[in-house]
């Protein structure tokens, strides 16, 4: 028994020492540097582009860790979701340092890290979306809860940060949105340490002597941030749609095609920098343009052109996130493009594809077309009723049976009647003996 107890004691000591070692150095040591990124101010495509660039370099440089310092009130949710995905899928360990606050979309980015440090007086939460609708609340609540669960934290805390109707006992009453202070974040497991500076953070995770490489936004990231603005993206898509419609109408491959190509490069280029657009979206777009051009310059029935237009729409839809917001933005952009196109329509020449898609001939009376048969030739002619008129019935004139009506009275069959009025298809008759 003593022998067994001795072995148990040895095992407990070994486990305790191993656990203590891991607690002091939670991030595995390596020879590479620490990549440092600062997310400050409004979260947009520029921030996502910077994180994308840093994450890519962190892998190639075999970095020990990526340190993301956050001080933000929030920003664009789609950009925050993109950053969240990059952090969660990163093969390099990541650390979040909340320098002042990580609110709204910033809270989503923060809890996507397995390691979180917070500065004295810092806070995290207050992630209620704007506009606050049932749909937006449900979507963002699910996103934060899933992220918290993925990183080993209580998802109910994350849900209370988004949905104020929930509350969280001891921290927020129902009807109050949850935001955690530094010491509260420690208590609920949403921060590992309160640290006054970066050096303290790195020392806590065993990275005190590591080289730190800071990534600052350059002109590419600033451009990506400007282009990620929803108004700018909608404007660029309107230009793309207008260029496609104009080329289908004219097949000129001129100024419209060049302007559309520039708009497409700016649109997809900014999404590429932020890591949102991949090869699939770009291939779909280029393939769609190729199909439209093929239709313009070869005999066909419009199949390639229509397929190309669908491919262009699909690429834009996927790039925008493939959600209801993407549909709304596409619809608004297309509407603007159509309005401008209609204003220019009479000034643009026509191409073969346009001629096949649009009906040019009109069935006019001058061209020999009529929406109904012309019965005016029977006016003032007489004939014999073949049925009783009650007041509608039938008669025969010159061997032709016609549907007619009387002036209101009953007319017996085999009565001689005269056509007194014709209005369209309505033929009015009167008995001759009247």
**Can you read off the two tokens belonging to residue 318?**
């996927």
Do the beta carbons of residue 397 and residue 377 sit within 8 Å?
no
421: closest CA among 404, 433, 401, 409?
Answer: 404
Whole-number Å distance between alpha carbons of 397 and 41: 88
pTM for this predicted structure: 0.60
Is the CA virtual torsion 190, 195, 198, 203 positive or negative?
Answer: negative
**Residue pLDDT tens, the chain, 434 long:** 444 454 455 444 444 444 434 344 456 545 789 999 988 888 887 888 888 888 888 888 889 999 999 999 988 888 888 899 999 999 999 999 999 899 998 999 999 999 999 999 999 998 888 777 888 888 889 999 999 999 999 999 999 999 989 989 989 899 899 999 999 999 999 999 999 999 999 999 999 888 899 888 777 666 767 777 778 888 888 888 888 777 777 765 567 778 888 888 887 776 665 555 567 777 888 888 888 777 766 655 567 778 888 888 888 887 776 777 778 888 888 898 888 888 877 766 554 444 544 445 555 555 555 556 778 888 889 899 998 888 888 999 888 888 899 888 888 898 899 999 988 788 999 998 75
- Could you please report the per-residue DSSP string of 5-44? HHHHHHHHHHHHHHHHHHHH--S---SS-EEEEEEESSB-
Structure token pair of residue 426: 């309505």
Sign of the torsion angle spanned by Cα atoms 197, 190, 94, 203: positive
Distance between CA atoms of 120 and 181, rounded to whole angstroms?
9
């Amino acid at each position: 028994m003593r022998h067994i107890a001795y072995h148990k004691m040895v095992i407990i000591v070994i486990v305790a020492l191993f656990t203590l070692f891991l607690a002091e150095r939670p991030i595995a040591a390596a020879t590479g540097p620490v990549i440092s990124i600062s997310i400050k101010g409004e979260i947009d495509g520029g921030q996502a582009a910077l994180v994308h660039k840093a994450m890519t370099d962190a892998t190639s440089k075999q970095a020990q860790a990526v340190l993301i310092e956050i001080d933000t009130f929030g920003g664009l949710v789609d950009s925050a979701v993109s950053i969240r995905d990059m952090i969660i899928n990163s093969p390099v360990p990541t650390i979040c340092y909340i320098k002042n606050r990580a609110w709204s979309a910033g809270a989503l980015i923060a809890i996507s890290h397995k390691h979180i440090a917070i500065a004295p007086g810092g806070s995290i939460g207050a992630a209620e979306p704007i506009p606050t609708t049932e749909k937006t609340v449900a979507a963002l609540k699910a996103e934060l809860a899933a992220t918290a669960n993925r990183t080993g934290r209580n998802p109910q805390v994350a849900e209370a940060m988004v949905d104020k109707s929930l509350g969280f006992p001891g921290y927020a009453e129902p009807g109050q949105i949850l935001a955690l202070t530094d010491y509260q974040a420690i208590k609920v497991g949403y921060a590992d340490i309160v640290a006054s500076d970066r050096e303290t953070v790195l020392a806590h995770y065993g990275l005190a002597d590591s080289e730190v490489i800071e990534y600052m936004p350059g002109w590419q990231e600033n451009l990506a941030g400007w282009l990620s603005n929803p108004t700018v993206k909608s404007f660029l898509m309107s230009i793309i749609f207008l260029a496609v419609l104009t080329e289908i109408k004219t097949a000129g491959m001129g100024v419209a095609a060049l302007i559309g190509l520039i708009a497409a490069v700016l649109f997809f280029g900014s999404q590429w920098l932020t890591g949102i657009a991949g090869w699939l979206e770009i291939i779909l777009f280029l393939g769609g343009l190729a199909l439209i051009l093929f239709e313009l310059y070869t005999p066909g029935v419009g199949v390639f052109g229509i397929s190309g237009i669908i491919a262009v729409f699909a690429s834009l839809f996927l790039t925008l996130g493939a959600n209801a917001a993407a549909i709304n933005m596409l619809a608004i952009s297309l509407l603007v493009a159509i309005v401008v196109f209609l204003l220019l329509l009479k000034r643009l020449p026509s191409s073969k594809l346009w001629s096949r898609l649009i009906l040019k001939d009109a069935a006019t009376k001058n061209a020999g077309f009529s929406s109904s048969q012309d019965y005016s030739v029977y006016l003032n002619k007489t004939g014999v009723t073949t049925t009783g008129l009650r007041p509608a019935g039938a008669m025969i004139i010159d061997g032709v049976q016609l549907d007619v009506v009387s002036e209101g009275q009953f007319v017996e069959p085999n009565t001689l009647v005269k056509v007194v009025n014709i209005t369209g298809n309505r033929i009015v008759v009167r008995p001759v003996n009247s």
